[in-house]
Structure 1
């Protein structure tokens, strides 16, 4: 009973906070008169987070009514899609801000909203490919033992899918995110230019990166524990349930960073457009 109450409270908080916050960010990004690359990044992340949060009731249903195979598969596939897309998007954001610092002239001429939108579409397609390909495997990993008996899946394929999920959706993006982020931090410390020292967009990355990986780390840990079959199944099911709920809180925290940093983004863009300032980041071109 205590487990159910805590789970209901966490799901309620995540849903009631995540839907309006991500909806508000989506509305702001959609209504911006001037389209910039950063606006496209924010808009795409808000859409992904909003879809993920909307499917939270389905996740709740799949946990407490495990016989609903369609609910299990859809909720597992949506969770997997959101994980891959979030990792790919953070990786792209990190590289994007690194280019702003390292190649300001190229960024000024080529960093367009259209190019950013094409990259977002590519990430959506790539994330959907990874998720739909292994939708039944995710359902198998996060289903109770009694339901797993109905699956006729190769254990080796399940373990390979979990490994791919961890490597492609977590470990490799983490490395590719940290490398350009460390470069930006190092550039901010070594260069004397005022714009590089005060790049407010970097603050968003430093908030989004730990939020994403701390919220998704338990998900991957319990994925490996579920296929190991060396721990009590009841304990694993409880831990996996709360690990899944924790992933939804990353979607609640993301819009907070966007909303609190919106004003600083505007000040940052005004400075890089100021002809009296040394331009190291370049203005974001509008469509």
Structure 2
């Protein structure tokens, strides 16, 4: 039996529903608020990450493993925040993509690329912190700047490979009301009318589940597990360290979950949207909003991973380069500044009480 040849482009059933749906996005006040929020996110994210790249990439006196993690994370986040104005313009244009196919591919590719790179680097940072605490001798002998660069390069390559399916199947589709969608069309290649529904379901399910596992669930397990183990280890040493560290860890995990969990939940719900009108309406409204929350992560990362030094308010009075030198030096940073306080505290106690 010869497969039927379509007269025009094929669209997945869900995409056909989206083309015919006239979601009311003409509320000027709501759109203005969303555009303003996106503008603020974009400005903050670009400035924060550009500042970190400038200091860690050009002003740091000595490269360390910690600085390599932060520099690569900032570069990925900087790329993501650069695309925020495109997403802002999409909202400004009443949810219509008026920027053409090339920028649609660019915006999509960078969004997913940052998602995978960030997850990889945050998991790597967590494991690195755990090794520093649990195996200090091994870390001293095996950690190096060269190996950190190689791991980062591996993470960027891994992210690029995972981003390919989202870039390949991205397309600009015109809706019935003449607005345009920059969205995935899983029937774009190697599909026929006979295999359309199966191809769309398999491809959408594979991408939604794989990005949930690879860019959220598995990294979250690594991040949470590493920091919980670190916190327990440090608590057994002294409570002075554990209190400030626990607050920082809680904020890191909470930000990762709050920024990315809604997006992945709506992507999974989207798999059933074509079969349920209520879920379809919910996804239509919730997915763009959850994508906005996902864009918060590149804006928050500099605050959580760089400016969370316990004595940042004191160090801010120093020169900017000295601040970042202290934050990423192997003897200092997110984990060891409290340790130095602990050592000083023990010395003071020993000078006062020999039996301590």
User: Which interval holds the TM-score relative to the shorter structure?
Assistant: 0.7 to 0.9
> What is the number of equivalent residue pairs in this alignment?
273
Change (3 A) 1:177 1:33: same
Structure 1 equivalent of residue 224 of structure 2? 178
Say which SS state the counterpart of residue 189 (structure 1) adopts: helix
1:248 equivalent to 2:295? Answer yes
- TM-score, normalised via structure 1 length: 0.82
1:35 equivalent to 2:60? Answer no
Structure 1 equivalent of residue 119 of structure 2? 87
My pick for the range that moved more, 203-212 or 110-119, is 203-212
Within-5 A mapping of 1:97-108? 97-108=129-140
CA–CA separation in structure 1 for the residues paired with 2:55 and 2:244: 19
Unaligned runs of at least 5 residues, structure 2: 1-27, 189-198, 316-325, 347-356
Within-5 A mapping of 1:78-157? 78-137=110-169, 139=170, 152-153=187-188, 154-155=199-200, 156-157=202-203
For CA contacts below 8 A with separation 6 or more, give which structure has more relative contact order: 1
- TM-score, normalised via structure 2 length: 0.67
Is the CA contact (8 Å cut-off) linking 1:62 and 1:75 kept in structure 2? no
Structure 1 equivalent of residue 108 of structure 2? 76
Structure 2 equivalent of residue 259 of structure 1? 307
1:209 equivalent to 2:236? Answer no
Unaligned runs of at least 5 residues, structure 1: 279-287
Structure 1 equivalent of residue 351 of structure 2? none
Is the CA contact (8 Å cut-off) linking 2:108 and 2:166 kept in structure 1? no
CA–CA separation in structure 2 for the residues paired with 1:35 and 1:270: 22
Question: Which structure has the highest helix share of the two?
Answer: 1
Alpha-carbon deviations, 1:226-274, whole Å to 9, x = none? 23212455543332211111122211111123134265744736967xx
My pick for the range that moved more, 169-178 or 92-101, is 169-178
Within-5 A mapping of 1:154-165? 154-155=199-200, 156-165=202-211
Structure 1 equivalent of residue 41 of structure 2? 14
Structure 2 equivalent of residue 190 of structure 1? 236
Following TM superposition, by how much is the alpha carbon of 1:199 offset from its aligned partner in structure 2, in angstroms?
9.9
Structure 1 equivalent of residue 12 of structure 2? none
Structure 2 equivalent of residue 218 of structure 1? 262
